[in-house]
């Protein structure tokens, strides 16, 4: 429950604690927009891990990004005290904790931020001055609405649900040059394939099926295929590349967050697991087909109108497990034809409206 009314006249300097996963961070963007809309004259600083910090550097709703190296220079008690001291110098009036961790609230207290807003999760309720309970109906909300619901309880609202992301002209030029080297011109149809999922193997559909989908859609659309992925997903991408006899551009492990954003924005269509890049594609309004298995599509679906989800009912899904303890039936049931049909149907709608 809220212990005091938020006096907006006293709020001129705001710290927002970002969440830690790339896809989750994309889904907090409307909440960040609500803060900007409610406090148009305030200075807004985002505290984020290195990966998420890239996502918001730059971003028109954020004035400054402070990188929290929790596993590096800010590790341990000494590191936590160091980042708290750095934050304290900014004299923030309000901390909005989008991350649901105890660490987020503790750090805001150590930084002597007088108003601390967030969900009462992870045993941190006593550390919050403006806490909100997580009710059963709250847990069932899509993640975009979940973050907005907490802010709404404190009178911070918006009608704007945009997943606003910024790509610079230089980043767009760099991607265009990278593709030009691979023989992809400005007007060529680019099909993105994202076979990885950082959360765990249970969320990953199969490389050989991704390859079959890519072959079929590239044949129908005259598309060039680009494979995206993190460095630890290079083996998966390599399997797809081999299955396609090298007739693709394999960028797994070769892009930063910023260049990945620009590459996905350049794509004309995207096939993906439930992952961070899926949410990036949704933010850039790239038509996409998302394959779901162990995760809850009701709460983490791509947020937008240019997306189709493919999943099959299984008695054990959604289990939310990183690795499948049985036979991965939620994913094996999804066929190549299922994904190709979903892609063709969505592209027809996008093309002809």
For tokens 């918001």, name the residue.
56
pLDDT at 198: 77
pLDDT at 2: 44
pLDDT at 4: 65
Low-confidence ranges of the chain (pLDDT < 50): 1-2
Token readout for 189 is 């149809």
Contact at 8 Å (CB) between 299 and 23? no
The pLDDT tens digits for 320-352 are 898 898 889 999 999 999 999 999 999 999 998
Looking at residue 198, which CATH number applies to its domain? 3.40.50.2000
pLDDT at 121: 95
* 3-state SS, one letter per residue, for the chain: CECCCCCHHHCCEEEEECCCCHHHHHHCHHHHHHHHHHCCCCEEEEEECHHHHHHCCCCCCCCEEEECCCCCCCCHHHHHHHHHHHHHCCCCCEEEECCCCHHHHHHHHHCCCCEEEEECCCCCHHHCCEEECCCHHHHCCCHHHHHHHHHHHCCCCCCCCCCCCCCCHHHHHHHHHHHHHCCCCCCCCEEEEECCCCCCHHHCCCHHHHHHHHHHHHHHHCCEEEECCCHHHHHHHHHHHHHCCCCCEECCCCCCHHHHHHHHHHCCEEEEECCHHHHHHHHCCCCEEEECCCCCHHHHCCCCCCEEEECCCCCCCCCCCCCCCCCCHHHHCCCHHHHHHHHHHHHHHHHHC
pLDDT at 330: 94
- Tell me, yes or no, whether 158 lies in a domain: no
Paired residues of 46 in beta bridges: 16, 65
Contact at 8 Å (CB) between 304 and 278? no
- Tell me, yes or no, whether 160 lies in a domain: no
Quick one: residue 20, left, alpha or beta (phi over 0 = left, psi -120 to 50 = alpha)?
alpha
The pLDDT tens digits for 225-255 are 999 999 999 999 999 999 999 999 999 999 9
Are residues 57 and 181 part of one domain?
A: no
- How far apart CA 88 and CA 110 sit, in angstroms, is 8
Are residues 178 and 315 part of one domain?
A: yes
Domain residues for 52? Answer: 8-153
Are residues 215 and 140 part of one domain?
A: no
Are residues 135 and 174 part of one domain?
A: no
- Tell me, yes or no, whether 1 lies in a domain: no
Are residues 110 and 64 part of one domain?
A: yes
Are residues 225 and 114 part of one domain?
A: no
Are residues 205 and 143 part of one domain?
A: no
Are residues 342 and 220 part of one domain?
A: yes
Work out how many domains the chain is built from and give that number: 2
pLDDT at 54: 98
Tell me the whole-structure pTM to 2 decimals.
0.95
């Amino acid at each position: 429950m809220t212990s005091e009314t938020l006096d907006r006249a006293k709020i001129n300097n705001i710290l927002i604690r970002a969440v830690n996963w790339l896809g989750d961070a994309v889904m907090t963007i409307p909440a960040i927009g609500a803060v900007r809309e409610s406090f148009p004259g305030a200075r807004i600083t985002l505290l984020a891990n290195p990966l998420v910090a890239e996502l918001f550097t730059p971003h028109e709703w954020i004035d400054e990004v402070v990188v929290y190296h929790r596993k590096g220079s800010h590790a341990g008690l000494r590191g936590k005290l160091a980042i708290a001291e750095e934050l304290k110098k900014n004299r923030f009036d309000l901390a909005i904790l989008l991350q649901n961790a105890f660490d987020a609230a503790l750090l805001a207290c150590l930084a002597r931020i007088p108003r601390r807003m967030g969900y009462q999760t992870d045993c941190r309720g006593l550390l919050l001055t403006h806490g909100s309970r997580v009710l059963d109906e709250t847990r069932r909300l899509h993640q975009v609405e979940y973050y907005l619901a907490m802010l709404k309880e404190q009178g911070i609202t918006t009608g704007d649900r945009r997943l606003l992301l910024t790509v610079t002209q230089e980043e767009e030029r760099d991607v265009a040059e990278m593709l030009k080297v691979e023989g992809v011109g400005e007007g060529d149809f680019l099909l993105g394939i994202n076979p990885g999922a950082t959360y765990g193997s249970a969320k990953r559909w199969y490389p050989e099926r991704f390859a079959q989908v890519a072959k079929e859609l590239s044949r129908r659309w005259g598309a060039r295929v680009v494979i995206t992925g993190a460095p630890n997903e290079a083996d998966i991408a390599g399997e797809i590349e081999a299955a396609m006899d090298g007739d693709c551009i394999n960028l797994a492990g070769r892009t930063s967050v910023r260049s990945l954003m620009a590459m996905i924005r350049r794509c004309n269509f995207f096939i993906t697991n439930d992952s961070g890049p899926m949410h990036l594609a949704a933010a850039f309004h790239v038509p996409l087909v998302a394959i779901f298995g162990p995760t809850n599509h009701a709460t983490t679906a791509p947020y937008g109108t240019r997306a189709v989800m493919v999943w099959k009912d299984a008695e054990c899904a959604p289990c939310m497990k990183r690795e499948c303890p049985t036979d991965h039936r939620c994913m094996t049931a999804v066929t190549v034809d299922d994904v190709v049909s979903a892609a063709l149907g969505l592209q027809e709608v996008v093309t002809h409206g």
